Amino acid sequence: MPEAGSVTRLLPLLTDSNRHFWEGGGENKLNFLHCAACSHYVHPPLPNCPQCMQRDLEVRAVSGQASLLSWTVNHQPWIPGFDPPYVIALVAIKEQPTLRLMTNIVDCKIEKLVDGLQLEVVFENAGEGVFLPLFKPVDGPA
Ligand SMILES: [Zn+2]
């Protein structure tokens, strides 16, 4: 795992509507907006719940558990200091399978990746207050 600031990723612009998501890792929390009316998690952040259109959204942390939906292995050295190969993945958050994140899988051999692999979040301190939610296998390094 690279040290904070050692990799030049393009970091998100923090706003009042997304700060809970990007800064949550500083408290080891994977935060999403949650609709108080219908219990739907909303991501990316929106002013209304897309399920029921209510505006009563609150920040709520999920367990950090997810399953692997799809992935690809990048072999191209796009970013200096971020050496390939690395895994770009789509994961489904346990609390709501339609709640999905594009992320990286870490601490896992590429040949161990399978559909439905059980994952848990780990946070990479990317600097500037941003903590990137990455995922690793629940059962430890595979
Ligand atoms: Zn709702």
Name the one residue in this structure whose structure tokens are 């995922």. 135
User: Distance from the CA of 111 to the center of ligand 1, in angstroms?
Assistant: 39
Report percent pLDDT > 90 for the chain. 86
User: Distance from the CA of 69 to the center of ligand 1, in angstroms?
Assistant: 25
| Token pair of 84 as six digits | 């390939």
User: Distance from the CA of 13 to the center of ligand 1, in angstroms?
Assistant: 26
Q: Is residue 1 over pLDDT 50?
A: no
Among the listed residues 51, 25, 21, 18, the one whose alpha carbon sits nearest the alpha carbon of residue 36? 51
User: Distance from the CA of 61 to the center of ligand 1, in angstroms?
Assistant: 17
Average pLDDT over residues 76-100: 93
State the Cα–Cα distance between residues 136 and 49, nearest whole angstrom. Answer: 30
Tell me if 133 sits within 8 A of 121, measured CB to CB: yes
User: Distance from the CA of 9 to the center of ligand 1, in angstroms?
Assistant: 33
What protein residues have CB closer than 5 angstroms to ion ligand 1?
35, 37-38, 40, 49, 51-52, 54
Summarised one tens digit per residue, pLDDT across range 21-35 is 999 999 999 999 999
Confidence at residue 9, expressed as pLDDT on a 0 to 100 scale: 78
State the Cα–Cα distance between residues 96 and 136, nearest whole angstrom. Answer: 19
Summarised one tens digit per residue, pLDDT across range 58-71 is 999 999 999 999 99
Tell me if 94 sits within 8 A of 82, measured CB to CB: no
Confidence at residue 6, expressed as pLDDT on a 0 to 100 scale: 56
Confidence at residue 141, expressed as pLDDT on a 0 to 100 scale: 58
**Selected residue with higher pLDDT from 94 and 140:** 94
